[in-house]
Each structure stands twice: as C-alpha cells, then as structure tokens.
Structure 1
C-alpha cells in the first residue's frame, strides 16, 4: 500500500531525515566566523572605526558595493567585535540599525531608530503626529541625556534620499551635523549603499560631512562564490547531499549575472527545500534551475505587494491603458479610482509616481518623438500581466479589477 505523502513528509521530519543540518547558516542575517574574500574590506572598515576603542568618535563612513558583496555582513561583524571589547568600558557603544528600503516614510525610519535608543512608549515617541524635526530632537535629547555614544547604521541609504525628497526635510544634514549640537554623547553615521551614484543627489554641505571615509566592495567572482558556498554547505547540509554539479551551476548563475553571494546562498537554500520536499537524496542541477525561477517570481510578487494602493492602481492602469502615454495612463487610472471609490491624485503626482516606479524596473518608459506635435513618453510593463494579476488578487480593493 502506498504511504500517504503527508505522513511520509512528517515522518521524515520527525525522524531527522532532512538534507539540512543547520538552515540558519543559509539565512541572510547569519554572520560566519570567517568572511571569505573580504580581508581588505574588513581591514578598511575596522581601521575607520578604531577611534571607538580609543573613546573617540570616528569619522562618518560610507560603504559602497552592489547587492550581495558582503557590505552589511562586514559592517555588522566589525561593529559587533568592537562592541564586545568595550562592553565593560566607560565608553559604551550603542548600535542602531535600520534599512531605509524597508521604511515607507522618513518618520517611520526615525521612529525605528528611536525605539532602539529606548524611546519605547507612545508618549515618548508616538508612531505618528509629530513633525520630523521634533522626532529628531527627541532622539538627540536622548543621546545627550544618557551620554550615549551611538553608531547609526543605515542600510540602503540611497533610499533615504527618496524618503527625504518626499518629506522635504533634509535629515541628512541634521544627522551629519548632530555632534555640533551634542554636549554629551556622540553620533556616528555609517551609510551602506548599492548605488555608487546616489551622492550626486546630495546637498554639497551634506556630502562633505557624510563621506568622510569610504570603502568600496567589488563584485565576487564565480570562483569566490563557489568557495563561499562550499564553506556554507559544510555547516548547513548533511555531508554528501549537495552534488558538485549543483554547486557549480549555482555559483555560475549568481557570479556571471550579478557577482551576488547572497543570491547564490538563497538559491542554494531554496533548491535544498525543493529537493527535501521531493524527498530527493541530494540537491541536483535541476533543482537549482527551478529554485532560480521560483525566486524571480517571488521577488516580483513581493515588490508588487509592497506598493501603496494608488501605486498599485497606477500599475494596473499601465497594464490596462488603451495607449501607453502619460495622458492615456492617467485616464485609465482615473477610471480605476471611480470603480474602487478612491479619490484620484493629480496628474502631476501620477507623473512623478510613474517615474518612481520606473526606477524599480517594474515598468519601462521610452521617449517618442511626434514631429510637429513634440514628444511624449510611453510606458510599458516589464512583467508578465499574469504576475501582476496573481499578486493583486489578494488585495480586496483590487480583486474585481484583475
């Protein structure tokens, strides 16, 4: 008699029949004892932050590199080791971490940092309702009152430029000049960015104090990614459960496209989960290929679901517009607003939003010259329409539109 597949999976899990020995090793937050192929970068970041050991404030630091090149990993490891050494020191360090890409507003980002400083109650720091300058003042007052030596690590700091532009409040300038206000305590800013050009959008006054020191992380090679994977496999998987051909393919796919070690590690983890669900004895090349397809689809769906309602309506408008010019898309957007009983935004704001969505790569715009009628910009989805429909089907406001 054929065994029930659910019982088979549950029995295997209970009996320990798993390909994985330690899944956490394949999580993006895992910090290995040795970070391979980043010796020079670790030295530079450590040297930049050495003043913390001397009870001094280091220079602000900007760390650059494409996604998956080890920037966040190295910064967190260096700061963690420094913090261990000064734990019982009279110069304690408080680390604050926020990823600007994960926050939709500048207010939300500052509140996240404030919570890590100990401003936990709504009275001390409400989730809404204060001005940006008042939130910042309360953070600075807490640092000064407690004589804290703080290190603000802002990951994907290029997105902070967008949050600043939306709010009209230049918190960059306030952050980089905070020590001029502090009589007690210090504030050091470490910015981590995937965008080498984002500084071009900064005020020159901010630029001079933000990039006091810089470290650039280069892409990993295919060979380096392979070594990184092999080290993780030793700890993450049961011996001899990942075929060498699968490791080679995983390294090649991530190295040739992006030089992105984090993507390679994610790819290996997802392939391992697919193999485990299929009750395979090993992770094979085919499972790596299928994991890559699944991850791409998941990434697009996650990106689509992260948008606010009016940006979702705008993406649908691009998909449904009879033409693809800004005017035609706006008309399509207005029709969708009527159907969903939403108050429409102005055409000027919609034009701005189209440019913002274009920056993410979900839509693409092309200037079309129309002779004596001037020129216009036409937009198209870069995604499959079915992907958009599948993502938005879960949104109750949009379910009848897709």
Structure 2
C-alpha cells in the first residue's frame, strides 16, 4: 500500500489535475463578458460617464443581494474608464475599499489615503482624530487637483460603524465637494442590504443616492450559464458531470440567486475531487463542498467577533434559549471568570441584535401577559462549532 503523502505528491508532480486555471474560480476574477448584466453595466457606465467629459459624476448607490454581480460590474466599468483615463491629461483617481474588511473608520480612511499616494508621514496609520484624517485626504485631493471616485463596497458595514461611533463620515463624504476648491470627490456605494438607506440620516440619503442601480437576483438557468462559462475556462474538458453542474446551480439558485456561491461550490467540489483523485466532479463532491463551505463560513464569522461579542455568544450557549436578562446574567458571570469589566445591559441588548443579523443566533418575541414582552434567543449553530472555533483564544480557554 503506497504512502498517502507520496501518492498525493506524485499526483501533483505528474500534473494530474482537473482544474487548469484556479484564478477563474475566484470571486475577484473579472470575465471579459459578464453574463445577464448588460442593462446594469450600461446604467453604471452612464452614471460615471461625466468623469470622461471632465466633470464630476453624481454619487451612485448600487444595490443587490450577495452574488448578483454588483462588485464585478462596478470594477469592470472602473477598469475600462482607467484604461481611457491613462491617455487623458485629466487627473482621475479610482479608489476601491471594502468596509467589511476595514474594521474601523480610521482604517477605511487610511486605505483611501494610501491609494491617493499619501505616505505614513502625511497620513499616519494611527493617532489622529477622524476629522483630521478626513481633512488631510481632502487637502491632498485639493492640492493635487484630483477628481477622485471612492468606491465603498459593502457600504452597509460602514453605516454600522458610523452608528457605533457616532462619527458620521458618510455625511462628510457626501458633502466633501463643498469643501473642495479644486478637484472633486464622487462616492459609489455598493450594498447587499436593500433596506440600507432606511438606516441612514435623511441628510445623507438625499446626497448619497443621487443615482441608483438595483441588481436583481439571478435565476437557476442564468446561474447555470455562468457556471458553464467558468467551467469551460477553468476545468479540463469533460471533467464536470452534468448532474454536478445542475446541483450547483440549483443550490445557489435556491438561495436568492447567488452566482458567487455557485462558483465557490464548483471550485471546492473540484478541489475535493482532485484530492480523491477522481477524474470527474460528481454530485457527491458538490454535496460535500456545500457542507464544507457552510462550516467555514460560520467559523470565519465567529472568529471575527471582538471579545465581548464572543462572551455574549458563550453566554447564550451556557444559558440555552434564554431571555435578554438571563443572557446578561450569564455574560456577567463569564466576565468575572476572564477578569474583564462587563458592559451595560443596554449595550449587550444592542449586541444581541447585531449578532442576530449575522444569523448565528435567532431571537423571537415572547408575550408574558401583564409582564409585557421579552425576547428569547437561541443559537442556530452547534455548541461544538463554537467550542472548536474559540478553543485557541487564550482568554476564553477557562470557560469553554
């Protein structure tokens, strides 16, 4: 019986692989043709066209559920504009940041500054007030006479940061041109949350949503066509069985038409098939990939939480399907064990609502007659998953 390590290394050395180009199966890949999105491409291009005519475009909001091609289309339009701008003397800067990846307002603004070419001396990575960081960015735009387009992907996360900190950077961004003598700043917001605007200050809504483009969900047939195109480019011929392709499209199409999930599924299924040294990707590989992706998504989400959110999740786990008051009592006990000052019950109630949005916990209102109403929470994932994810956190080891 051959050694399992040698067997896998031999297969890798011999070049036995059914995936010939993995980059095509990554969500950052921008295909030459974006299927089923001609109208949306035209709308985004028309919104940003004024920049080529040496004038400032309107602020633009792009909406749609995850995996509907929003970021793909915006990036493709920006790339096309960039190609033409390089031949022009009109100074344009196209800047992109994902507010979900930047955990602080400061980090997001520094990301913009770095892409404008500002060094650590001009814009330190820490230590300034948010207002000072913003002022320096605007001074840079003014002095360089730059016409900047700031693209903020997952802008709903920035709105959450604004509500937590009370520093309304969105309002300042939308009104930046009032402070600029030369150059300009246009904001392009991309949001997965169709109700995103309802959470904003009315002053921001009027200036941010000057133009809007809504991306509708893909249907199963459209996802199948997108997958076929990616499979043709990424896999060797005839290495993905038709039932596997159909299952990928059905699984992703059933979940609000998420093409990104479909592409992830076929990529992970292909990797599983390769590890098993199968010559074709089958339905079983797709089912295995689906389970693996769900598990990884939950782990990544849990690991991203700050300490007190983790303590709240553990409090729910230990209290088990309990009311806000019972969870808070459990949380206070955990704070004592790990030697941390507890937050107020009001703040923990806010946290519960925020965690509920992620889908890791679910809550329902319970009517208690003359005692009014209370909300009861329970985990939507297993206790084992939480213990497994938190076990490497030294602060939590005594309470898991």
Question: Which is worse superposed, 178-187 or 106-115?
Answer: 106-115
- Residue equivalent to 2:242: 244
SS at match of 1:298: helix
SS of structure 1 residue aligned to 2:186: strand
3-state secondary structure, aligned to 2:148? strand
SS of the residue aligned with 1:380? Answer: strand
- Alpha-carbon separation, structure 2, partners of 1:234 and 1:336: 53
Pick the aligned partner of 1:302 from 278, 300, 316.
300
Match in the other structure for 1:211: 209
Structure 1 SS opposite 2:61:
strand
Residue 369 of structure 1: CA displacement? 1.7
Q: Which runs of 5+ in 1 are unaligned?
A: none
Residues matched between the structures, number: 400
**What is the match of residue 166 of structure 2?**
168
2:34 aligns to what? 35
Cα distance, 1:258 vs structure 2? 2.1
Provide, for residues 60-116 of structure 1, a one-character-per-residue CA deviation record: whole Å limited to 9, x for no partner. 111111000000000000010011011031113211111112222222211221121
- 2:270 is matched with 272
What does 1:83-94 align with in structure 2 at a 5 Å threshold? 83-94=82-93
TM superposition shift of 1:128: 2.4
Inter-partner Cα distance in structure 2 for 1:120 and 1:135:
13
- In structure 2, how many angstroms separate the alpha carbons of the residues matched to 1:38 and 1:109? 29
**1:335-384 Cα shifts (integer Å, max 9, x gaps):** 11111111211222111111111121211122222222222221111111
**How far off its partner does 1:322 sit?**
6.0
Aligned: 1:317 with 2:319: no
Deviation at residue 133 of structure 1 after TM alignment: 0.9
Do structure 1's residue 256 and structure 2's residue 254 form an aligned pair?
Answer: yes
Q: Structure 1 residues 24-33 or 43-52, which shifts more?
A: 43-52
TM-score relative to the length of structure 1? 0.97
Which 4+ stretches in 1 moved above 4 angstroms?
A: none
Give the secondary-structure state (helix, strand or coil) at the position aligned to 1:101.
coil
Measure, in 2, the Cα distance between the counterparts of 1:129 and 1:166: 19
* Residues 215-249 of structure 1: per-residue CA shift (max 9 Å, x gap): 11111111111111111111111111111111011
Which whole-Å CA distance do the structure 2 matches of 1:263 and 1:256 have between them? 11
1:331, distance to aligned residue in structure 2 (A): 1.2
Residues 1:97 and 2:96 are matched in the alignment? yes
- 1:161 deviates by 1.0
Taking the aligned partners of 2:207 and 2:372, their CA distance within structure 1 comes to 43
Uncovered stretches (5+) of structure 2, i.e. residues with no partner: none
Distance 2:65 2:38 in 1: 17
1:389 and 2:393 are equivalent in the alignment: no
Partner of 1:102, secondary structure, is coil
Contact 1:322/1:328, CA 8 A, preserved across alignment: no
Deviation at 1:144, TM superposition (A): 0.9
* Residue deviations 1:107-162 (CA, integer Å, cap 9, x gap): 221122112112231x3222222211111111111111111111100011111111
Cα pair distance change 1:323/1:387, threshold 3 Å: closer
Once the two structures are superposed, what CA deviation does each residue of 1:161-218 show, in whole Å capped at 9, x if it has no partner?
Answer: 1111111111111111111111111111000011111111112221111111111111
Aligned to 2:118: 119
- Equivalent positions of 1:94-243 (< 5 A) are 94-121=93-120, 123-243=121-241
Equivalent pair of 2:99/2:157 in contact (CA under 8 Å): yes
Looking at structure 1, the residues matched to 363 and 119 of structure 2 have their Cα atoms a distance apart, in angstroms, of 44
Q: Does the residue aligned with 1:377 lie in a helix, a strand or coil? A: strand
Query: Which residue is equivalent to 1:67?
Result: 66
Contact 2:145 2:183 in 1 (8 A): yes
Measured after TM superposition, the shift of residue 323 of structure 1 is 6.4
1:399, CA displacement in angstroms? Answer: 2.3
**Comparing 333-342 with 371-380, which one deviates more in the overlay?**
371-380
Determine the C-alpha separation between the residues in 2 that align with 1:233 and 1:377.
47
Q: SS in structure 1 opposite 2:392?
A: coil
Q: Distance in 1 between matches of 2:372 and 2:156?
A: 34
2:320, 2:378 within 8 Å by CA — same for their partners in 1?
A: no
* Counterpart residue number, 1:15: 14
RMSD: 1.2
